[in-house]
Amino acid sequence: MAGFDIRELMNDIDEAPGKVWFWDLEKAVIDADRCVQCGVCVAACPTDSIGIGSDDLPELVKMCTGCSLCWDFCPRGGLQYESTWKIMGADHSVEGIGKVEESYTARVNPMIEGVQDGGFVSALLISLLEAGEIDGALVARESATERWKGEAFLARTPEEVRECAGSFYNQTLALGHVDFKEYDLPPNPRIAVVGTPCEIEGIKAMQARPWTWGTSKVEAITLTIALLCTKSFNYEKLMLEEIQAKRGVDLENVGRVDIIRGKMIVQDLEGESIFEEPIRDFHGAALKGCDECADFMGHAADISVGSVGSADGYSSVLVRSEEGLTAFESVREKLELRELDKPEALDKLDALDKRVAFKSLKRAFDPEAPLFIDYEEHLENYAGTDRAPVEHEAVRY
């Protein structure tokens, strides 16, 4: 099937004004330093032409047909990301925590070792696996070769979920790992995905249409869990340059990294503080594209989870959908639950996140807009700004 036919079927742009190639995405997003490493372009490519380079950025690995889908589904490109929120039934004025069915401050009891906050995410995944409700959970596991670098990993046993507990403050290009071909799974697997809100936006946009091209199995994803997120980081810049080189911290000796109450907190293996510094000192290591994101709350997810809004050692849990409610029931009895401790803290951080996003986005923010933005329209909005496409010699196959 020709690229244009696919595009007409897959999105709500009636007539494609021209082909958009991978190298157009490259100029406007990747080379313009706006990529947030979600991996959605990898999943969206119907010919599996996009891979992940050694720099953890998407790269062309074989011929691009100009079908435009990598552009359409990129949350820094053609995807009007905030328009994915209405897929979940959110109204147009998505403020604060947004659409929720239930919300809690929660902690698993007994506690699971190594979790970041109240252990809700690990407890939920373990319960779902034990109940046979899912066949795997796409989470982050520490790289075998690089300390404190999270990599996408499909956990298929409670033990594997336990090994992957805790937060890695780098993106894993999760959507670049949903072909699941390296895993032995049943014929129609049911997979839970834990990811940052931009990754969940991509899943929901792709799932809103039948997807039968390429090897990515977005249809296998039956539950999405968003980690509340104001920014993510470049692994090399944060862990190797800022923490290891500049501050002289041996990463082998780091037991915990936390970003909480506006501070970066790094502890050793015994739980003693190595340093505590304002998060603004690390701004240079954050992904520039994150500034344009107003989805701290993970509005497109079935369940959003974070630390803000709850006392230390607890998780703030926002259950947004029927699927989320059903999943939540499987873990309810293993949790200490109460009303959200400080919902106003969530609202406050959301307002700050949106202020930054509205300043950085070079287009109008509009959750009611169509889901896709044409490349030409993007150029009109971004040309001449500090986020303009970067001209370069494209590698063409």
**Which residues sit at the interface with ligand SF4, rule CB under 6 A?**
25, 29-30, 35-41, 58, 74-77, 171, 196-198, 229-232, 287, 289-290, 293, 295
Residue of this chain nearest to ligand FAD (CB atom): 306
Choose the contact partner of 29 out of ligand FAD, ligand SF4, none; CB within 5 to 8 A by kind.
ligand SF4
Residue 233 DSSP symbol: B
User: Taking the complex as a whole, how short is the minimal distance between the CB of residue 157 and ligand SF4, in angstroms?
Assistant: 28
Cβ atoms < 10 Å from Cβ of 143: 16
CA dist 54 and 94 (Å) reads 37
Contact 110, 162 (CB under 8 A): no
Q: Are 200 and 305 in contact (CB under 8 A)?
A: no
Nearer to ligand FAD, 296 or 375 (CB): 296
- State the CB neighbour count (10 A cutoff) for residue 125: 28
Cβ proximity to ligand SF4: between 64 and 229 the closer is 229
| CB nearer to ligand SF4: pick between 229 and 340 | 229
Q: CB of 294 within 8 A of CB of 353?
A: yes
Question: If binding is defined by CB under 6 A, does position 274 make contact with ligand FAD?
Answer: no
Answer with the entry of ligand SF4, ligand FAD, none that 41 interacts with (C-beta below 5 to 8 A by kind): ligand SF4
Q: Any idea what the Cα angle at residue 158 is, between residues 157 and 162, rounded to 5°?
A: 120
Stretch that binds ligand FAD, among 222-230, 239-247, 273-281, 321-329 (CB under 6 A): 222-230
Stretch that binds ligand FAD, among 43-51, 305-313, 327-335, 362-370 (CB under 6 A): 305-313
By a kind-dependent CB cut-off of 5 to 8 A, residue 293 interacts, out of ligand SF4, ligand FAD, none, with: ligand SF4
Number of shown-chain residues binding ligand FAD (CB under 6 A): 33
Task: For ligand SF4, give the closer residue by CB, 39 or 306.
Answer: 39
Alpha-carbon distance of 50 to 369, in angstroms, equals 28
* Residue 74 interacting entry, from ligand FAD, ligand SF4, none, C-beta within 5 to 8 Å by type: ligand SF4
Catalogue the E-assigned strands of 185-227: 191-195, 221-227
258 beta partners: 265
Judged by DSSP in three states, 11 sits in coil
Per-residue binding string, ligand FAD, 29-48, x by CB under 6 A, is --------------------
User: Considering the rule CB under 6 A, would residue 77 count as an interface residue with ligand FAD?
Assistant: no
In this structure, are residues 288 and 33 in contact, taking their beta carbons and an 8 Å threshold? yes
The reply on whether position 122 binds ligand FAD by CB under 6 A is yes
Contact positions with ligand FAD (CB under 6 A) in 147-206: 150, 164-169, 172, 174, 194-196
Which does residue 40 touch among ligand SF4, ligand FAD, none (CB within 5 to 8 A, set by kind)?
ligand SF4
What does the alpha-carbon distance between residue 77 and residue 75 come to, in Å, rounded to a whole number? 5
DSSP labels, 252-304: GGEEEEEEETTEEEEEETTS-EEEEEEGGGGGGGB-GGGGG---TT-TTSSEE
Q: Which does 117 bind (CB under 5 to 8 A by kind): ligand SF4, ligand FAD, none?
A: ligand FAD
- Strands 303-306, 315-319: parallel, antiparallel or unpaired by DSSP? antiparallel
Q: Is 117 in the site for ligand FAD (CB under 6 A)?
A: yes
Do the strands 136-142 and 191-195 form a parallel or antiparallel pair, or are they unpaired? Answer: parallel
Residue 146, both tokens: 């690089």
Looking at the Cβ atoms of 45 and 164, the one nearer to ligand FAD is 164
What's the min distance (Å) between Cβ of 176 and ligand SF4? 7
Per CB under 6 A, 304 contacts ligand FAD: no
Alpha-carbon distance 160 to 163, whole Å?
5
Query: Cβ closer to ligand FAD: 259 or 265?
Result: 259
Query: Does 119 engage in binding with ligand FAD (CB under 6 A)?
Result: yes
Phi, psi of 363 (to 5 degrees): -125, 170
Q: At what angle do helices 120-130 and 322-329 cross, to 10 degrees?
A: 80
Distance CA(52)–CA(39), nearest Å, equals 8
Residues 223-242 that bind ligand FAD (CB under 6 A): 227-230, 232
* Residue ranges that bind ligand FAD, judged by CB under 6 A: 115-122, 139-140, 150, 164-169, 172, 174, 194-196, 227-230, 232, 259, 305-308, 315
